[in-house]
Each structure stands twice: as structure tokens, then as C-alpha cells.
């Protein structure tokens, strides 16, 4: 074994340790220094009637949320080459772990590309963009609808602010389509559109269907947690508020390990207007983060440790 190869393997091992060690440190730090959490309240809540049924359903939805994402990625990655469900799970969970340190989870793109040849990296980034893009579009459409329903029922935002948010979203879409012919280093939105249209229709249809299911799964995770903590708001209003806060919370640039804090801060404003206690909102945001980010990171850490660069597979 050459010295260069040994050095490369040592560097890869150090990077793996930094990623996994950093992930667990950030998780510990967020939980240990969050003074808004009182775990005794959670234990008391779990002693209530029907709490274990709700908790069981919540765990099922937690598994379903990540499982749907794994199927989504298997469907899209198979546009390049067919991959197994197991390989898709490995790539998705490892990517979640790496994404923990990056703004809005952008590290996920690089992490998935590492599992493919260099000449396929661009395609993998593109497919991951499609995977996340449809999820974002659904969150925007439903979130905007929920925001206006909430504001109609409980006027908390001034009319100018509400329409300002709507105007900003519309403006972004107008700019997006008007700039489609602008080319930067050979890439343009028009070319992106052509690549999207060139994909098999079945892949798009399955991606949209799975994205809708996953969105509903996430929304009902929130719903079950609010039920667990005794929130008795009407279902339409509760779901509209969840959709609005999820949309606005996701729109704010942040690091993945701070995701619960950002969404929690936005949620406190909206749910506070509905008379929901702040501790319930904070606990809900934190538990969603634990279930949808921390648990996958724990599983993904194993795949980060066992990751081998493409060059080593052929040796």
C-alpha cells in the first residue's frame, strides 16, 4: 500500500470521526442547554390515558416519514442506475448525518454524490434537487393556504404583511421563469426545465405521489404531538397553523441542528395567538427534531463510518 493511499485513508477516517463526533456533540449541546424543556412534564403527559396509543402512532409516522424519503430517492436514483432499497437507505441516512452541519441541509447533495462516480455527480445533484424541490413546492402551496386560513380565523398579521408574503412568493416565481434563459457557466433554468422534462413521466408521478404522502406524514406528526399535549383546537385550524408555521420556519435559512429552534420560534408566535402554552410548542418542535433528524443521524452515523470512496470499491 502506497504512502499516498495510506494518507488518503487516514484523512477519510478523520473526516468520518469529525462528522459523527460533531453530530453527537451538537445534539447533546442543543438538548443539554435548552432551558425551555422540562422532561418531567413529558413523563407526566405519557402517563395520561391514550398517550401510549398516540405515541405508538407517532413512532409509526416517524418510520414512515423516512421510509418514504428512501423510496423517493430509490425512484429518482434509478433514473441513472437501478439501486436497491437498502442502498437507498444507506445513502439517505448518511446524507442526513452530513447535512446536520450545513445551511438548510445543503451538505446532503455532496454526501449522496460521494456514492457515485465523478461523471455522475452532476446528475445526482440534479436528482436530489428534484427530490427536495417537489417537497418545497408542496410546503409553499399548502403553507400559504394555511397562512391565509389562519389569518382569516385569527387576524394576527396585518393585511399588508400577509399580502407582502404572498407578493414575495409570487415575485420569486416570476423571477424564476423570467430568468430561465440566463446562462451561467453553461447552465440555465431553461436547460434545467429541459432536463426535468426529459426524465421518465413515471418517475415524476411517483416522486410527486410520495412527496405528498411524506408531507401529510410530517404534518400529522405535529398533529399527534399537539393531541398528546392536550391541545384541542379544531382539526382544520390546527392543520392550517401547522402548515403555515412549517412553511415559514423552513423558509428561514438555518443549520439543520438548529432547525427545531427556528421552527419553534415561529410556532410560538402563531400558536400563542391560539392560546397554546409556549412549553407545548417548544416540546413539539424539539420532539419533531429528535424524531425526524436525530434518530436518522444516529442510524446514518454507521453508514458514514462504513463509507468507502468509489476508488476503493474496485480494489
Residue 55, classified by CB atoms within 10 Å of its CB into exposed (0-12), middle (13-18) or buried (19+), is: middle
Higher pLDDT, 243 or 279: 243
User: Does a structural domain hold residue 49?
Assistant: no
**For 16-20, 118-122, 291-295, which range has the lowest pLDDT when averaged over its residues?**
16-20
User: Does a structural domain hold residue 191?
Assistant: yes
Q: Does pTM top 0.85 for this prediction?
A: no
Q: What's the pLDDT at 92?
A: 95
| DSSP conformational letter for 187 | E
Q: Is the confidence at residue 176, as pLDDT, over 70?
A: no
Percent of the chain clearing pLDDT 70 (strictly above):
68
The residues with which 187 forms a beta bridge, in sequence order, are: 184
Q: What is the mean pLDDT of residues 224-234?
A: 90
Q: Which domain holds residue 15?
A: 3-32+56-313
Q: What's the pLDDT at 138?
A: 93
Local confidence band at 254 (pLDDT 50, 70, 90 cut-offs): very low
Local confidence band at 184 (pLDDT 50, 70, 90 cut-offs): very low
User: Does a structural domain hold residue 42?
Assistant: no
Q: What is the mean pLDDT of residues 123-143?
A: 91
Q: What is the pLDDT of residues 15-33, one digit of tens each?
A: 666 666 666 566 666 666 6
Higher pLDDT, 173 or 209: 209
Q: What's the pLDDT at 168?
A: 66
Q: What's the pLDDT at 34?
A: 63
Local confidence band at 314 (pLDDT 50, 70, 90 cut-offs): very low
User: Does a structural domain hold residue 51?
Assistant: no
Q: What is the mean pLDDT of residues 235-242?
A: 94
Q: How far apart are CA 90 and CA 96, in angstroms?
A: 10
3-state secondary structure of 38: coil
**For 95-109, 125-139, 247-261, 287-301, which range has the lowest pLDDT when averaged over its residues?**
247-261
User: Does a structural domain hold residue 47?
Assistant: no
User: Does a structural domain hold residue 114?
Assistant: yes
Q: What's the pLDDT at 154?
A: 74
Q: Is the confidence at residue 170, as pLDDT, over 70?
A: no
**∠ CA(11), CA(74), CA(224), 5° rounding?**
100
Q: What's the pLDDT at 166?
A: 64
Instruction: Name the packing angle between helices 51-77 and 85-99 (round to 10°).
Output: 110
The total domain count for the chain is 1
**For 69-78, 86-95, 302-311, which range has the lowest pLDDT when averaged over its residues?**
302-311
Q: What is the dihedral of CA 229, 235, 241, 245, to 10 degrees?
A: 60
The secondary element (H helix, E strand) that includes residue 184 is strand 183-184
User: Does a structural domain hold residue 39?
Assistant: no
| DSSP conformational letter for 293 | I
Q: Is the confidence at residue 158, as pLDDT, over 60?
A: no
**∠ CA(126), CA(210), CA(212), 5° rounding?**
105
User: Does a structural domain hold residue 37?
Assistant: no
Q: Is the confidence at residue 60, as pLDDT, over 90?
A: yes
| DSSP conformational letter for 33 | T
Amino acid at each position: 500500500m502506497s504512502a499516498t493511499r495510506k494518507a488518503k485513508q487516514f484523512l477519510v477516517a478523520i473526516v468520518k470521526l469529525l462528522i459523527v463526533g460533531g453530530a453527537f456533540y451538537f445534539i447533546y449541546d442543543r438538548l443539554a442547554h435548552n432551558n425551555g424543556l422540562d422532561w418531567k412534564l413529558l413523563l407526566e403527559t405519557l402517563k395520561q390515558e391514550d398517550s401510549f396509543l398516540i405515541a405508538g402512532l407517532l413512532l409509526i409516522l416517524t418510520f414512515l416519514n423516512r421510509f418514504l424519503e428512501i423510496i423517493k430517492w430509490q425512484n429518482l436514483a434509478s433514473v441513472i442506475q437501478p439501486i436497491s432499497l437498502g442502498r437507498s437507505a444507506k445513502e439517505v441516512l448518511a446524507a442526513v448525518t452530513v447535512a446536520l452541519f450545513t445551511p438548510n441541509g445543503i451538505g446532503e447533495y455532496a454526501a449522496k454524490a460521494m456514492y457515485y462516480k465523478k461523471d455522475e455527480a452532476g446528475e445526482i445533484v440534479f436528482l436530489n434537487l428534484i427530490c427536495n424541490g417537489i417537497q418545497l413546492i408542496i410546503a409553499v402551496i399548502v403553507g400559504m393556504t394555511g397562512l391565509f386560513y389562519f389569518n382569516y380565523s385569527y387576524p394576527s398579521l396585518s393585511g399588508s404583511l400577509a399580502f407582502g408574503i404572498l407578493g414575495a412568493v409570487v415575485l420569486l416565481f416570476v423571477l424564476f421563469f423570467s430568468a430561465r434563459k440566463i446562462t451561467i457557466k453553461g447552465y440555465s433554468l431553461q436547460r434545467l426545465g429541459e432536463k426535468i422534462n426529459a426524465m421518465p413521466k413515471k418517475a415524476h408521478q411517483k416522486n410527486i405521489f410520495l412527496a405528498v404522502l411524506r408531507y401529510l406524514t410530517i404534518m400529522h406528526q405535529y398533529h399527534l404531538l399537539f393531541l398528546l399535549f392536550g391541545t384541542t383546537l379544531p382539526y382544520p385550524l390546527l392543520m392550517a397553523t401547522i402548515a403555515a408555521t412549517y412553511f415559514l420556519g423552513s423558509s428561514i435559512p438555518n443549520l439543520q441542528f438548529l432547525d427545531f429552534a427556528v421552527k419553534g420560534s415561529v410556532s410560538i408566535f402563531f400558536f400563542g395567538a391560539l392560546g397554546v402554552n409556549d412549553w407545548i410548542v417548544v416540546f413539539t418542535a424539539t420532539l419533531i427534531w429528535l424524531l425526524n433528524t436525530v434518530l436518522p443521524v444516529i442510524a446514518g452515523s454507521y453508514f458514514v463510518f462504513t463509507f468507502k470512496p468509489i476508488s476503493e470499491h474496485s480494489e
